[in-house]
Structure 1
Amino acid sequence: MTMMRRAGIILLSLLLVIAVSACGYKKSMQHSDSDYGSRKPGDPKMQGLKAYGSTNTDAGQHDNAFFEYSSMLSNKIGSLNGVANGIVMLTDKNAYVAILLDWSAAGTKAKGGTDEQNNTGSNGGVFNADSGSPYSNPYTIVTPYNSFFTVMDHQNLSNELKQTIAKRIREESPMIQEVHISANMEFNNYFVRFASEAWAGRSLTPLVDTFNKVVQYEFDGAAERPAPITEPGHYSPQDWQLRKFNRR
């Protein structure tokens, strides 16, 4: 065997090893919860039926008779790469999931950048970089300042991320009709208030109407907007700072 031919065989072998390794890495990433952005045909995360969002045309799908906080499911969703916090509420019909993002995984947002939070204030020793206030709002889990990240419109979340979350919910609660997921700021702040009532051992029954109003506005296009929780004032952004975070 000539030296040139031997060198060619060695080079071909190396290229095959690299190709196989790259293919294996790609498949590993597609199966992992570190990449929600590949969006390729046949992606393993998207196999099977769509597990999230509306699956029927029932006009009363968000008229829930009761709701309850699920600690187990909240921890399960909060442990996913890319998710900083998860709060899961179960009803007689659906599962509703409020998430915050930490950008520890690729592709959690379908489009756009990280433009809803301004975390520069911590460098200057303030909380609100626009007003210079050092105070945070102790009654919310997320604000436009020094917080984990939100996405105003749930349709701008990665479909792969939503599918991954919904599948995990359905693994534990197979009787759930629909799974609805949002990273909206106000939605998260409402959900942490609901969860706080459950953590304190108080009944959520008095809050059913408020809960339905929140989920109907977020997922069903209801005209009535729930009262904002991220209120303008001493701790929070002013009115002009909040406008871009409210869709209507």
Structure 2
Amino acid sequence: MVKRIAALLLSAVMITTSAGCAYKQYAQQSDTDYGSRQANDPKMLGGRAYGKATNNADQHNNSFFEYSSVISRKVTDLNGVASAIVMLTDKNAYVGLMLDWTAVGTRNSGGKSEQDNTGTSEGVYNHDTGSPYGNSKILVSPYNSYFSVNDVNDLSDELKQTVALRVRELAPAVQEVHISANMEFVNYFNDFAKEAWGGRSLMPHIDKFNTVVNYHFAGGKDMPSPITQPGTYSPTETQMNH
């Protein structure tokens, strides 16, 4: 009888352990957890799918660019992503992300949120000034908005890998995939996307587009004027996608 009880207890422990291991493996493989960062994590097996892959000094001097509604929707479907805007060029894919914190570990490190959403509960837009007016022309705002991450290096590597693999599934010919959740970057991409949604050519904007991506991903020194809060908000760091 004692042996039977012991055997049952051991079996229960093994089942519980097995279930725990299975759940852990599921979480590591799913898009609900971008923060485990353990050896042999299934998301990071294989070669890195995002960031710099060549030494071409002109990698971000693109000849054309276009908005991809299909890939944008596929990336938006990922947990942790509120919205994605994907642009394809003759060389690369560029992804602007807006985050919603529905997945864990989307940031490489902690830190204060860039968004102040306390005005939502107070019936105002800007908690600092009490103003009820927002800026309908932008997608990401410092107030009452989904979330941005200024420095691309603060985005989880697992998130970037997951996004890049999804992009490459649908655009296998791209040389590099570059990803940012920077507020200004996303709002510029939103402006470009609006042109595409309106059926207008993006080619008149190619120089501005190249300036934006060179600044964020290649250390470019030129950046178009901030559009989120002109005269108030500006990017604090040159972004490098390592």
- Which bin holds the TM-score, normalised by the shorter protein? over 0.9
The aligned residue for residue 237 of structure 2 is: 247
Counterpart of 2:96, as a letter, is: A
User: Structure 1 residue 114: deviation in Å?
Assistant: 4.7
Deviations 1:73-98 (CA, angstroms, capped at 9, x unpaired): 00000010000000000000000000
The aligned residue for residue 187 of structure 1 is: 185
User: Structure 1 residue 6: deviation in Å?
Assistant: 1.8
Counterpart of 1:110, as a letter, is: N
CA distance in 2, matches of 1:30, 1:148: 25
Deviations 1:202-232 (CA, angstroms, capped at 9, x unpaired): 0101000000000000111111122111134
SS at match of 1:193: helix
Q: Does 1:167 align with 2:165?
A: yes
SS at match of 1:95: strand
User: Given the two structures, how large is their TM-score scaled by the length of structure 2?
Assistant: 0.96
User: Given the two structures, how large is their TM-score scaled by the length of structure 1?
Assistant: 0.93
The aligned residue for residue 90 of structure 1 is: 88
SS at match of 2:211: helix
CA distance in 1, matches of 2:167, 2:141: 27
Gaps of at least 5 residues in structure 1 are 233-237
CA distance in 1, matches of 2:223, 2:85: 21
Matches within 5 A, 1:14-163: 14-163=12-161
Matches within 5 A, 1:160-239: 160-232=158-230, 239=232
CA distance in 2, matches of 1:71, 1:179: 16
CA distance in 1, matches of 2:222, 2:210: 11
Q: Which stretch shows the higher mean deviation, 217-226 or 59-68?
A: 217-226
CA distance in 1, matches of 2:112, 2:52: 27
